[in-house]
Amino acid sequence: MVMRYQMAGLLFASFVMLTSQALAQNSHDWRNCHRLDMQSAEPGAARGDACDQYWVGYMYATGTGLHQDFTEAVRWFRLAAGQGNARAEYWLGSMYEDGDGVQQDWAEAVRWYRLAAEQGYDEAQYKLGELYLLGAGVPQDDTESVRWYRLAAEQGHHLASTMLD
């Protein structure tokens, strides 16, 4: 009987360890970032969780559940982007494009969009397609525009598909 409890304890400890490792790895994977409110995101953000940092930045950027604060949004997006969170990189690109919370800077906008796009984030790929089409922040280049639109469309991005039609 004691042996059965020891075995159960070892199995549970192994499960907890593997689950903790999986959660730690997923905290940097932007595809698995899902939070709904500041109360659930803020503790993880303070501990350095990239997903939670992204969500806190998003809530400040959009004014979701709190007062909109672009400067605070940029701060949290930088923390998440520093860990490779593609959504945060995309939002930093948007902030630099629009001059929200930072001085408007096309080169920085393109840099952040590109980092997110190279990770496969379809919104960033679409945005780069748009920028190359318009020559905004980059030299106008129809070939590059089509390349980025195609990458986004391959992931099901509806507007990118429309641009290719």
How far is 164 from 145, CA to CA, in rounded Å?
Answer: 10
How far is 103 from 74, CA to CA, in rounded Å?
Answer: 11
7 in a structural domain: no
Q: At 49, which CATH number?
A: 1.25.40.10
Q: Which domain does 50 fall in, by range?
A: 33-108
* pLDDT confidence bin for 11, thresholds 50/70/90: very low
10 in a structural domain: no
With beta carbons less than 8 A apart as the criterion, state whether 100 and 61 touch. Answer: yes
Q: Are residues 54 and 102 in the same domain?
A: yes
For 78-118, the pLDDT digits (tens) are 999 999 999 999 999 999 999 999 999 999 999 999 999 99
Domain count, the chain: 2
Q: Are residues 155 and 130 in the same domain?
A: yes
6 in a structural domain: no
For 139-154, the pLDDT digits (tens) are 999 999 999 999 999 9
Give me the pLDDT at residue 32, please.
59
Q: Give the pair of three-digit tokens for residue 153.
A: 């469309």
Averaged pLDDT, 41-56: 90
2 in a structural domain: no
Arithmetic mean of pLDDT over the chain:
84
